[in-house]
Amino acid sequence: MDAALVELLRSVDTPTVCNAIETAQGQRGFNAFTRGTMLASDPAGVMVGYARTARIRALAPPQEAPDVIRARRMAYYKYMSEGPRPGVCVVQDLDVPAAIGAYWGEVNTNVHKAFGLSGTLTDGVMRDLGDVAEGYPVVAGSIGPSHGFVYVVDFDAPVRIHGMDVAPGDLVHADRHGGVVVPTDVIPKLADAIASMMRAEKIVFDAVKGKQITFAEFETAWAAFEAART
């Protein structure tokens, strides 16, 4: 991605990206997005980047030796510090729906921000909501107070977050609405699709926002809107 596309994607919300994907594909039915309600550490936060993936657990202590767990944790951090940028940390909690381990709080958000990542998308738990690193949004499955026995199971492999499959290197966009994986073949068309979609929507907004209109006026505006989308 060039810098202009990155900035554009940071300026729009995830529903806009989903709509733009359908515009670029010329049809509805795209479904590589999260299901269900997710929670955002920052309602205005947007993350864009190539996925760096991992899986964690926290309900019970790990069965491996402590030095093995520590070595994997450090290998995980090294992995997160590397790779293409912009990057998004995407972490599946294998304890869902009973997840308790708040891996995402003041410490890890500051660490991952320092690695140059733009945010974390997880079906797991977050905490320290008043102390999450500024400018590092977390979109999570739940909020909790503690970390349990949290440890890294593996990393750099496919994960599933709220019904959305994510492979390492996938382009991810996420905000308070949830997340979406942008198909590779759509990326070159995305800027034009967003612009086209916004031009079409402006026809409706100009006709209805702050106004009281008749059905006939609406019908005219809607016909122009539909024509602009084809």
Q: What is the mean pLDDT of residues 142-155?
A: 97
Task: Go through the domains of the chain in sequence order and give each one's CATH number.
Answer: 31-182 (3.50.30.40), 189-229 (no CATH)
Per-residue model confidence as pLDDT tens digits over 167-221: 999 999 999 999 999 999 999 999 999 999 999 999 999 999 999 999 999 999 9
Is there a contact between 144 and 100 (Cβ–Cβ < 8 Å)?
A: yes
Mean pLDDT of 131-143: 97
pLDDT of residue 54: 98
Mean pLDDT of the chain: 96
Q: Is 127 annotated as a binding residue?
A: yes
What are residue 173's phi and psi, to 5 degrees?
Answer: -125, 130
Instruction: Convert the pLDDT of each residue in 111-122 to its tens digit.
Output: 999 999 999 999
For Cα atoms 206, 207, 208, give the angle at the middle one, nearest 5 degrees: 100
Contact between 180 and 18 (Cβ < 8 Å): yes
| pLDDT band with cut points at 50, 70 and 90 for residue 146 | very high
Any residues with CB less than 8 A from the CB of 211 and at least 6 apart, and which?
Answer: none
What confidence category does residue 229 fall into, taking pLDDT thresholds of 50, 70 and 90? confident
13 is in an annotated binding site: no
The answer to whether residue 230 scores a pLDDT higher than 70 is: no
